[in-house]
Structure 1
Amino acid sequence: MSERYSRQVLFKPIGKEGQNKIEQKHVLIVGCGALGSSNAEALVRAGIGKLTIIDRDYVEESNLQRQQLFTENDAIEKTPKAIAAKQRLNQINSDVEVIAHVMDATSNSLSPLIREVNLVIDATDNFDIRFIMNDLSHKHNIPWIFGSCVGSTGMSYTIIPNDSPCLYCLLEAAPLTGATCDSVGIISPAVQMVVAHQTTEALKLLIGDIKALRTRLVMFDLWNNHYQTINVNRAKKESCPTCGITPSFPYLQFESQTKTEVLCGRDTVQIRSNQKEFPLDELEKRFIDLGQVKRNPFLISLNYQNFRVVIFKDGRTFIHGTSSIEKAKKVYYQLLG
């Protein structure tokens, strides 16, 4: 056994047997922002065998305050978060297999990934994606760990299919506010508190210490010194469309999937194309006379009129500078037809 993990092995609940189990497991992290990058680093340092990261976004300067894997150069180059994270994680622990996907998390993209993993960690800020994860994890019987934070507050809950309430049940019992990091801000310690809960629960699941799992929803407000755990077992409903007696998995249906959406608090609209891949070389030539163009292997960025348009190779487009879907579509069609 490598000296690298000696202090973790000395922790009796893990020990040598637990460490061996960790090194054989595969975790999927959906989202590689504040929660995702911190969870990824913790698991890579703990010696996870395989880690898959999926994220649709790229690094911006405002991320650097709390997203610990990224650097100023990542923000300057607009490096996709999943790629920047993989590069840093490989430097931290070269024994871990890290797979990075720069793409949107949809039922189609997540379905083949989730079948291959032992655990899913939620690190997204999008409830459409969370409900898709919720349905997929129950369909394939894969545990997942919910996490959310904003301002100085956060919450986390471990969801075990066929045992605990699912996210759909949970939010009916404990609905969330509409606050976002972009509207009320966030402090880094709130992120780390959620990550501490998520990563600890992940280690318990990876070594099979089911009895040690926290069965309550945890909620806190660090600034106002509040911490509570809530028994939500009674929230589980037999009629639930995800975890009930006759599940229909509604969020896996095509009509429930968003094709055009306003990104959370960012004055940005995302448009997904049916085209699976954009030819960045051709777009760069087409845009060169329209405004300032920046390009990397994964995306092309164009300052166009009063907007910043970012086109990803995988068929997605961000229209920065508006929260109007109609305006965003107009710009999109002007540039891409």
Structure 2
Amino acid sequence: MNDRYSRQILFPGIGKEGQEKMGRKHVLLIGAGALGSGNAEVLARAGVGKITIIDRDYVEASNLQRQQLYTEEDVAERLPKAAAAKKRLTAINSDIEIIAIIGDATPEVLREKIVGVDVIIDATDNFETRMAINDVSQKYSIPWIYGACVGSFGMSFSIIPGKTPCFNCLVRTVPLQGMTCDTGGIISPAVQMVIAHQTAEAMKILAEDWGAIRTSFVSFDLWRNQYTSMKMSKAKFSGCLSCGENRTYPYLESENMTKTTVLCGRDTVQIRPSTTGEISLEQLAGQLSVLGYIVKGNPYLLSVEMGKERMVIFKDGRALIHGTKDLTHAKTVYQRILG
């Protein structure tokens, strides 16, 4: 092992043995936005052997204020965040393996990608995906680390199957559903604080220092100088369908995942097709250009301008309809373009 991780190895909580363990471990990162890009960079620099990133979006100018992996060039090229993250992380540490998945973290995808994973990090922006992460974590006994932030406020909790309350238990005690950047903007220091909590917990798990894992639920408000740590042992619910005595893992059922979603903090609706399979972006671009649409693209997506609205289409048939929060209207636009 070279000098790259020498300062980390000197830290007693990791040492040479812990560093070697981290180098053999696999992290599944859900989301590559503010929390995701920060988590990914810290863990890549720390020498985690394999990082799989799942994200459905692409880089926009408004991301640059807090999403530390991305550049103005990524914005100009409209690169998917997962692809842009892989490019940057590989430049940071070429010794580790980075897998980029451009798409939704659906139950099917989570079940497929969970194989061989040592810890899941939540960096998503919606409640539905977190519930699916929670169920796949409980079903396959994989720890996951919850994190969320909005404004100057943030929170984090480490969920260890069989030991801590699960996320489904947690929402019965702590009001988590209101966490959205739609409500009050966000400042970068709050993001960095959550990242610090998440990556520290991830490194404890990866180095197998189980006794050091924080068992409390942490929340803070950097602007109001508030910090709270709550014990959550009593939050565990025996009747929980995700981790209780008669668990059914309801959020791994595809019918419980919506096909249309209004994206956090944006006049944008995502639509997922009911069937899976790739489409030919090159062929579609030709067809739409003939019809008079302004079409731009890269190997990952097409951007189609339609008056005041713009539609971005990915290889898997997913589409982002910009300029509206109206689900019915978004579906109409989707049908008009993709049928």
* TM-score, normalization by structure 1: 0.98
- Give, as a single letter, the amino acid of the residue that structure 1 aligns with 2:114: I
1:293 to 292, 295, 298: 295
Distance in 1 of aligned mates of 2:33 and 2:326: 24
Where 1:242 maps in the other structure, the secondary structure is: coil
Residue in 2 that maps onto 1:264: 264
SS for the counterpart of 2:183 is helix
Structure 2 distance, partners of 1:108, 1:264, is 23
Give the match for residue 250 of structure 1: 250
For residue 214 of structure 2, what is the aligned residue in structure 1? 214
- Identity of aligned pairs, percent? 57
Take 2:282 and 2:71, find their aligned partners in 1: how far apart are those partners? 27
Name the amino acid aligned to 1:187: I
Within 5 A, what are the aligned runs for 1:43-192?
43-176=43-176, 178-192=178-192
Q: The residue matched to 1:278 in structure 2 has which SS?
A: coil
Indicate the residue corresponding to 1:235 in structure 2.
235
Helix, strand or coil at the partner of 2:132: helix
| Partner of residue 311, structure 1 | 313
SS in structure 2 opposite 1:228?
A: strand
Matches of 1:331 and 1:102, distance apart in 2: 22
State the partner residue of 1:277. Answer: 278
Indicate the SS of the match to 1:184. Answer: coil
Question: Residue 336 of structure 1 aligns with which residue?
Answer: 338
Distance 1:56 1:335, change over 3 A: same
Distance 2:210 2:179 in 1: 33
Distance 2:172 2:327 in 1: 29
Q: Secondary structure at the match of 2:243?
A: coil
Query: For each residue in 1:291-313, what CA deviation from the matched residue of structure 2 results, as whole angstroms up to 9, or x when unmatched?
Result: 32110001000111321100001
Q: Return the alpha-carbon distance in structure 1 between the equivalents of residues 262 and 62 of structure 2.
A: 19
2:190–2:222 CA contact under 8 A, matched in 1: yes
Bigger Cα displacement from structure 2, 258-267 vs 96-105: 258-267
Instruction: Tell me what 2:202 maps to.
Output: 202
User: Alignment length, in residue pairs?
Assistant: 337
**Alpha-carbon distance in structure 2 between the residues aligned to 1:295 and 1:52:** 25
Shift of 1:179: 5.0
Give the aligned residue type for 2:241: P
Q: Partner of 1:148: helix, strand, or coil?
A: strand
CA distances 1:197-254 after superposition (whole Å, capped 9, x unpaired) = 0000001001111111100000000000000101111010000000101101010112
Runs of 4+ more than 4 Å apart: none
Distance in 1 separating the partners of 2:90 and 2:177 = 37
For 1:65 and 1:262, how far apart are their aligned partners in 2?
Answer: 22
Separation (CA, whole Å) in 2 of partners of 1:229 and 1:278:
48
- C-alpha contact 1:290 1:304 (8 A) present in aligned 2: no
Which residue is 1:13 aligned to? 13
Q: Offset of 1:261 from its aligned partner?
A: 1.9
Is the CA contact 1:143–1:158 (under 8 Å) kept in the aligned structure 2?
Answer: yes
Q: CA shift at 1:275, angstroms?
A: 4.0
* Residues 121-165 of structure 1 deviation map (CA, whole Å, 9 limit, x = unaligned): 000001111000000000000000000001001000000001100
The offset of 1:177, in angstroms, is 5.6
> What amino acid does structure 2 have at the position aligned with 1:280?
L
Taking a change above 3 Å as real, the CA distance of residues 179 and 52 of structure 1, as seen in their structure-2 partners, is closer
5+ unaligned residues in a row in structure 1: which ranges?
none
Question: Displacement, 1:265?
Answer: 3.0
In 2: Cα distance, 1:176 partner to 1:138 partner:
19
- Structure 2 residue runs without a partner (length 5+): none
Q: 2-side partners of 1:130 and 1:265: how far apart?
A: 18
The AA in structure 2 aligned to 1:328 is A
Question: Counterpart amino acid of 1:285?
Answer: G
Q: Is the 8 A contact 1:55 1:101 kept in 2?
A: yes
Partner of 2:27: 27
Amino acid at match of 2:89: L
Alignment equivalent of 2:304, drawn from 293, 302, 305: 302
